[in-house]
Structure 1
Amino acid sequence: MISKPSVITALACIVLLPGLTASGPLRAQTPNQWVVPAGFHVTVYADSVGNAREMALGPRGTVFVGSWIGKVYAIIDRNGDHKADRVVVIASGLDQPNGVAVHNGALYVATKSKILRFDNIEQRLDAPPAPVVVRDSNVCLPPPMTAAILRMKPDGSNLEVFAEGVRNTVGFDWHPKTRELWFTDNGRDMMGDDVPNDELNVAWKRGLHFGFPFCHQGDVPDPEFGAQRACSTTEPPVQKLGAHVAALGFTFYTGDMFPASYKNAAIIAEHGSWNRSVPSG
C-alpha cells in the first residue's frame, strides 16, 4: 500500500500566453481575471510563445517550452526581474514537440514519434546544435508499447515498459519524499459530460495497469472494451480531477517562496474542456 497525501491544485506562477491555436485566436485572460489563493498574484512572464505546452527550466535559468505547432522555444530573463527579455525559437518543423526536459545540460524533446537531444543548449541558444536522435518510435516501438509509460536510459538504451493502461498523460513528477512516479491522465470522450474523470495517478512500482481502454477513473467500465478486463484488476487514481478538465502540467512544489502548507503539494495545470456542454477546467 502507499500513502495518499492530500492533493491540491493551484495556479502556477509563470503564465505563458499561447497566442493562436489550430482553431483560431485565444481570448487570453488578463492577470486580474485569474482567481488565486490569498497572497498570490499572476503576472505575464512571456508572450509570443505560440501554443505553449510543457516547460522545463535549465540550470542557467532558461525556460524551455514545447508546443503543438512544431516549435521549441527558449525564454531568457537576463536581469532576473521575472519577465522575459527574449524568446528564441531553437527548433521548428518538428512533429508536435510537446515534452521537454533538461538533463546534464542537454535539452530532451519528445515529439510525436521521436525523442531528440540538444547538447549544451544554454551555451548555444544563438546557434542551436542539430539534435541527436535518442529514440525513433517509428522504427523501434511496437504496438504493445502504446498507451504506456516507457523507461529508458538517457542515451535511449534499455527501453522498457514501466506502466500500462495510460490513455494520455502529459505531466508527471517524482514525489520528493517517496520518489514514486505521479502523473496526470486525460480521460476518454463521448461518454457524457460528467464521465469519466481525468486522473492523478501514482505508479508506485513497475508493471501496474491503469485501466485504459478497459476501465476509466478506476470504477467505470468502458462500454466497448470493459468486458475484457475488470476494473478491480487495474490501479485506481489517487485523485479524480473532474471530467474533461484536460489535466496537463504537473509538479510537486519543493520551493520556499509559497506558504509552508504548499510544501510537497501537487500543482496541476488544466487546459480545460473542448466538448463539454458546460466548460470545465
Structure 2
Amino acid sequence: MKTWTKLTLALLLSLGGLTACDKDSDEDDFETVIPETDETPTSAQIKGYVFYPALTSATTTNVEQLKVPAGFAVNKFAEGIGKPRIMAVTSAGHVYVSDRDAGTVTLLQDTNNDGVAERKQVVATIKQAHGLAVQGSKLYIVAVKELYVADINMDGTLSAPRQLLNDLPDGGQHPNRTLAFGPDGQLYLSVGSTCNSCPEPNPELATMLVANPDGSGRRIFAKGLRNTIGFGWHPQTREFWGMDHGIDWLGDDEQKEELNKITQGADYGWPYIYGEGKYNPGDRPDNMTYAEYAAKTTKPTLTYQAHSAPMAMVFYTASQFPAEYQNDAFVAMRGSWNRSKPSGYKVVRVHFENGQPVRFDDFLTGFLVNNDRSHFARLVGLAVNRDGSLLVSDDTNGVIYRVARQ
C-alpha cells in the first residue's frame, strides 16, 4: 500500500530567450517571466507535489457509498480480472477488455442479464495490448507499435489476430495507444508524447493519426496533443472531440485538462502553448516567438481541473438513461498523483447543448475515501453495454463497475 508522500519542488529555469512577458497572476504557485526574445532570461518558480492517496480494497462498504445521480445504482459487473484498461462492446453483448500488463484481451458476458458478467475468457494474447475498437464483425487491437485485427466469432471468441502495422512510434512516457473508427469509416489512432514536455523528433508523436481500416495510408490528422486517450464523435454533429492530458509540474492548478474540438491539420500547442494561449516556460518554439506560435494554435473549448488525467471518453446514445443524457459524453478521470490535494478519481458527464459542450458535471464519485487520504479505484475505460448501462474499469483493484437505472 502506498503512503502519503509530499515533495515540494522549487524550479528556477534560466533558459535564455522566449517571448513577450506572460505572467499568470491568478496562480499563486506558478509565476513566470517569459520574454519574446533571448535578450532577457526566462525564469519560472513552480511548486510541485507528489501525492499518492493510499490504495485500499473495493469492499462492499466502499462500493455502497459511491455516489451517482438520483435514480441510478452502481454494482460490480466483474472483478478479479487483473488490471482492466480499455473496453469495447458488440451488439451481441460481448464485452472485450484489455490488460496492458498481462498482454491480454478478455471477453466478459452477462449471460443471464442480471448486471454481472458470468463469463470470463481470455480470447487474445498480445504484448502490451491496450486500445480496442469494434468495427462490424472485427475487433481491432493496438499495442505500443503494433496494430492488429481479429474476426469476432459468433460466440465472441476471436480468430488469430493479424498484424496490420508494426511501426507506430516508440512509447516513452505515454505508450497507451487508443483507437476508434470515425463516421467516415477511417481508423483514428491516438499517439501520445514520449515525455512530459519536449520537442519530439518523430512528427507522429503527440498526434492524432488517421489511416484506412487496413492500416494503409497513415497520416497525421492533428498535432500538439500531449496524450488524447479519450476521444469520439458527437452523434448528431459528427464533430470530433477529445480530452487531452495537461503538462505536469506547472503547479497544482496548471495545466488544466483540455476538451478540444479536433480538426484536420490543427495544432493544439503542446509543448509550447497550453490553455488559452499560455506559454510553457520549459520549452520554446524554434525560429518563431511564442506569440507567433500561439497565433497558429487551436485553443480548447472547455478545460477541467488540472492533473485529473482524463482517460476513456464515450458518447451516450442508448435508451436506458433519461432522455437528457442523449448525445452527452462521459469521461473517466483516472486521478492525480502530482497535486497537493487529489483531483479526478471519478466519472464526469460532459453536457452538450446544440451540439457544443457547455460544462462538466460529476456523474460517478466516491472512489476517494478516508478524507481523500485513500482511494479504491483509478478509472480507465468506459463503454456502454448492450442494455444501455455504463461500464467503468479500474486497473488497481481489477474491477469493472456498472452504472444503471434503478
TM-score (norm 2): 0.59
Partner of 2:336: 273
Q: Going by fraction, where is helix more abundant, 1 or 2?
A: 1
| Residue range with higher mean Cα deviation, 139-148 or 215-224 | 139-148
SS in 1 for 2:203: helix
Partner of 1:11: none
Tell me the matched-pair count.
Answer: 255
On the 8 A contact 2:258/2:300 being kept in 1, the answer is yes
Q: Whole-Å Cα distance in 2 between the matches of residues 184 and 219 of structure 1?
A: 17
1:72 to 98, 105, 111: 105
Partner of 1:4: none
Matches of residues 162-201 of structure 1 in structure 2 within 5 Å?
162-201=221-260
Partner of 1:58: 90
What code does the residue aligned with 1:231 have?
A
On the 8 A contact 1:196/1:220 being kept in 2, the answer is no
Aligned in 2, Cα 1:164/1:117: closer, same or farther, shift over 3 Å?
same
Q: 1:100: how far off?
A: 0.5
What is the percent sequence identity of the aligned residues? 37
Partner of 2:145: 113
Q: Whole-Å Cα distance in 1 between the matches of residues 226 and 242 of structure 2?
A: 12
Q: Whole-Å Cα distance in 2 between the matches of residues 276 and 65 of structure 1?
A: 29
2:130 to 92, 98, 117: 98
What code does the residue aligned with 1:263 have?
Q
| Structure 2 residue 194 is matched with structure 1 residue 131 | no
Aligned in 2, Cα 1:239/1:49: closer, same or farther, shift over 3 Å?
farther
Aligned in 2, Cα 1:217/1:51: closer, same or farther, shift over 3 Å?
farther
Aligned CA-pair RMSD: 2.3
Aligned in 2, Cα 1:144/1:257: closer, same or farther, shift over 3 Å?
same
- Report Cα offsets for 1:58-107 as digits up to 9, x if no partner: 13111111233122211111122221002112223512x22100112111
TM-score (norm 1): 0.83
Aligned in 2, Cα 1:247/1:139: closer, same or farther, shift over 3 Å?
closer
Q: Whole-Å Cα distance in 1 between the matches of residues 169 and 131 of structure 2?
A: 20
Partner of 2:215: 156
Aligned in 2, Cα 1:138/1:234: closer, same or farther, shift over 3 Å?
closer
SS in 2 for 1:42: strand
On the 8 A contact 1:55/1:65 being kept in 2, the answer is yes
- Can you give the 5+ residue segments of structure 2 that lack an aligned partner in the other structure? 1-53, 171-190, 192-200, 345-406
Q: 1:168: how far off?
A: 0.8
On the 8 A contact 1:66/1:73 being kept in 2, the answer is yes
Aligned in 2, Cα 1:263/1:197: closer, same or farther, shift over 3 Å?
same
Larger-Rg structure: 2
Q: Whole-Å Cα distance in 2 between the matches of residues 83 and 201 of structure 1?
A: 35
Q: 1:124: how far off?
A: 5.6
What code does the residue aligned with 2:68 have?
V
On the 8 A contact 1:105/1:122 being kept in 2, the answer is no
Partner of 2:313: 250
- Report Cα offsets for 1:195-217 as digits up to 9, x if no partner: 001111111x3101111111122
Aligned in 2, Cα 1:221/1:139: closer, same or farther, shift over 3 Å?
closer
1:82 to 111, 115, 127: 115
Q: 1:143: how far off?
A: 1.5
2:277 to 216, 219, 228: 219
Aligned in 2, Cα 1:170/1:139: closer, same or farther, shift over 3 Å?
closer
Q: Whole-Å Cα distance in 2 between the matches of residues 265 and 250 of structure 1?
A: 10
Q: Whole-Å Cα distance in 1 between the matches of residues 89 and 156 of structure 2?
A: 16
| Residue range with higher mean Cα deviation, 133-142 or 32-41 | 133-142
Aligned in 2, Cα 1:165/1:26: closer, same or farther, shift over 3 Å?
farther
Aligned in 2, Cα 1:166/1:178: closer, same or farther, shift over 3 Å?
same
On the 8 A contact 2:124/2:161 being kept in 1, the answer is no
Aligned in 2, Cα 1:86/1:26: closer, same or farther, shift over 3 Å?
farther
